[in-house]
Chains A and B, each alone.
Chain A
Amino acid sequence: MKEKMLNWVEERFDLSAIRHLTREKTVPVHRYTPFYYFGGLALFFFVVQIVTGILLMLYYKPTGENAYESIRTIMTQVRFGWLIRSIHVWGTNLMMLAVLLHTFAKYFLKAYRKPRELTWISGFFLLVLALGFSFTGHPLPWNEFAYFAAKIGTASIGSVPLVGPWLLEAIRGGQGVTGNTISRLFALHVVVLPLVTIGLVILHLLFVQIQGSSVPIKVKPVGEIPFFPNFFLRDLRVWMGALIVLVGLATFIPAELGKKAAQFASAPAGLKPDWYFLPMYQILKWIPSTILGISGELIGIGLISTGALLILVVPFLDVKASREEESTWFTVIGVFVLFVFMLAITIYAKLY
Chain B
Amino acid sequence: MNASRRKFLDGLLGLFSLAGLAALAYPILRYITPIKKREDSTLSVVASKINVLTPNTGKLFKFGSKPGILIMTPEGKYRAFSAVCTHLGCIVQYSSKDQQIWCPCHNGWFDLNGHVVSGPPPRDLERYTVFIKGQDIIVKKEKA
Restricting to B61-107, which residues have a CB under 8 Å from any CB of A? 61-62, 65-67, 83, 87-93, 103-107
Let me know if A264 and B67 touch, CB within 8 A: yes
Restricting to A249-293, which residues have a CB under 8 Å from any CB of B? 263-271, 281, 284-290
B-chain residues with CB within 8 Å of residue A281 when the two chains form the complex: 106
Restricting to A162-213, which residues have a CB under 8 Å from any CB of B? 166, 169-170, 172-176, 180
Among A267, A269, A289, which residue has its beta carbon within 8 angstroms of that of B121?
A289
Docked Cα-Cα span, A170 to B30, in Å, equals 10
> Which A residue sits closest to B37, measured CB to CB?
A174
Q: How far is the CB of B131 from chain A (nearest CB, A)?
A: 22
A-chain residues with CB within 8 Å of residue B66 when the two chains form the complex: 176
Among A148, A169, A174, A175, which residue has its beta carbon within 8 angstroms of that of B105?
A148
A-chain residues with CB within 8 Å of residue B60 when the two chains form the complex: 264-266
Among B34, B83, B88, B89, which residue has its beta carbon within 8 angstroms of that of A169?
B34
Known: A267-B91, A270-B104, A285-B106. A296 touches B32 (CB 8 A): no
> Which secondary structure dominates chain B's binding surface?
loop
- Asked if B116 CB lies within 8 Å of chain A CBs, one says yes
- Asked if A127 CB lies within 8 Å of chain B CBs, one says no
Assign chain B's interface to a size class. Answer: 20 to 34
A-chain residues with CB within 8 Å of residue B122 when the two chains form the complex: 289-290, 295-297
Known: A170-B32, A267-B105, A284-B120. A152 touches B90 (CB 8 A): yes
Q: How far is the CB of B110 from chain A (nearest CB, A)?
A: 12
Q: Can you name 8 A-B pairs with beta carbons within 8 Å?
A: A151-B88, A152-B90, A156-B88, A169-B34, A176-B65, A176-B66, A286-B120, A289-B121
The 4 closest A-B pairs by CB, nearest first: A266-B93, A289-B122, A155-B88, A267-B90
Besides the known contacts A264-B62, A271-B90, 5 further A-B residue pairs in the complex with CB atoms under 8 A apart? A148-B105, A155-B88, A155-B89, A175-B37, A267-B91
